[in-house]
Amino acid sequence: MIRIRPLIAAELALGLHLSRQAGWNQIEADWRRALDLQPNGCFVAEWNGTPAGTATTCIFGPVAWIAMVLVEESLRGRGIGAALMHQVLDFLDQSGVATVRLDATSLGQPLYKRLGFVEQFRLARYEGTLAPMLLSPSARVEVVASCDREALAALDESATRTNRRKLLDRLFGEQMDSVRCVQQDNRLTGFLTSRPGAKATFLGPCIASTEAGPLLLVDACHRHAGQRVFIDLPETNEAAIRLAETHGLTVQRYLTRMCRGAPVCEQVPWLWASSGPEKG
């Protein structure tokens, strides 16, 4: 029998176990961030009284994201994932959300299609260890302290069509030293941040113009030289793909960005790296 109930902070170890079992990159900080950003929208599924799955949501005004839909390997095929999805969709519908989005793995995509999600575009997850760079990055890349945080959030919203200020504030608060930006004529034209993971440093989000994007990615490759990294790139951003491959990164897997309800889609040319499957 399946029972769905709220996820609580004392159970973050469950989420961490499931994400590690699935080979994902999340660490405890990612689970804690998910719960803190939407404490009433994170759920646990029990199978005959035993915790067996998770799902999280994050509401950004009229737009919401679903993530961390995970089921214990030994209990898959019993409808646990579907039950979790029905729970989170009911929660989001009752919250008045007009648009629900997620990044689907190949395993989850058939379920999401049955629930009314439609494909928008694909992201390629690139991975690899960055080689030391012979050339220094552009001096135009600055630490975020020199940038207007409000302008940074506004740039993100203009590109993603979503007010993600609460997510950005959290990411910047956690990893302020990792945030970089580019300004032109006293106007912000791009930013990038990174964070640690269980398997690799995750690069992103990176929201930038066609000129600022390469500067930020090259700077990130310089700062993280010698480290294993993951970065999720839209397939249609050919310049970002070329940069990743030039630095020795290769495709690990693909994710499909999907939407249910009123269509919302990023200005993909400004999306140089996603913030990850958790929040788009």
Give 133-147 pLDDT, tens digit per residue: 666 677 789 887 656
User: By percentage, how much of the chain surpasses pLDDT 70?
Assistant: 97
Range of the domain at 268: 125-273
- Does the residue 118 lie in any domain? no
In the chain, what is the straight-line distance between the N-terminal and C-terminal CA atoms, in Å? Answer: 33
Of 77, 97, 117, the one marking the end of a domain is 97
- Does the residue 108 lie in any domain? no
Reported confidence tier of residue 184, pLDDT bands at 50, 70, 90: confident
Q: What pairing do the DSSP bridges indicate for beta strands 201-208 and 228-234?
A: parallel
Residue 134: per-residue pLDDT: 61
Asked if residue 76 and residue 137 are part of one domain, the reply reads no
Domain harbouring 225, CATH code = 3.40.630.90
Asked if residue 6 and residue 81 are part of one domain, the reply reads yes
Q: Determine the Cα angle at 257 with ends 217 and 110, to 5°.
A: 145
Residue 151 is inside which H or E element, if any?
helix 149-160
Angstrom distance (rounded) from CA 146 to CA 159: 21
User: By percentage, how much of the chain surpasses pLDDT 90?
Assistant: 89
Residue 135: per-residue pLDDT: 61
Asked if residue 130 and residue 74 are part of one domain, the reply reads no
Question: What separation in angstroms does the CA of 56 have from each of 7, 33, 69, 110, 193?
Answer: 9, 11, 7, 19, 23
Residue 146: per-residue pLDDT: 59
Q: Mean pLDDT, the chain, as a whole number?
A: 94
Model confidence at 258: pLDDT above 70:
yes
- Does the residue 245 lie in any domain? yes
- Does the residue 258 lie in any domain? yes
- Does the residue 59 lie in any domain? yes
pLDDT tens for each residue of 8-65: 999 999 999 999 999 999 999 999 999 999 999 999 999 999 999 999 999 999 999 9
pTM of the model: 0.94
Average pLDDT on 163-191 reads 92
Angstrom distance (rounded) from CA 48 to CA 150: 48
Dihedrals φ, ψ of 141, to 5°?
-80, 125
Asked if residue 129 and residue 81 are part of one domain, the reply reads no
Model confidence at 4: pLDDT above 80:
yes
Model confidence at 197: pLDDT above 70:
yes
Residue 144 φ/ψ region, left for φ over 0, alpha for ψ in the -120 to 50 degree band, beta for the rest? alpha
Q: Which of 78, 90, 96 is nearest to 115 (CA)?
A: 90
pLDDT tens for each residue of 63-84: 999 999 999 999 999 999 999 9
Angstrom distance (rounded) from CA 174 to CA 254: 27
Angstrom distance (rounded) from CA 78 to CA 65: 24
Average pLDDT on 241-248 reads 94
Whether 125 and 230 have beta carbons less than 8 Å apart is answered as: yes
Model confidence at 132: pLDDT above 90:
no
Q: Number of structural domains, the chain? A: 2
Quick check: bond before 132 cis, omega within 30?
no
Residue 23: per-residue pLDDT: 95
Write a three-state SS string for 101-134: EEEECCCCHHHHHHCCCEEEEEEEEEEEECCCCC
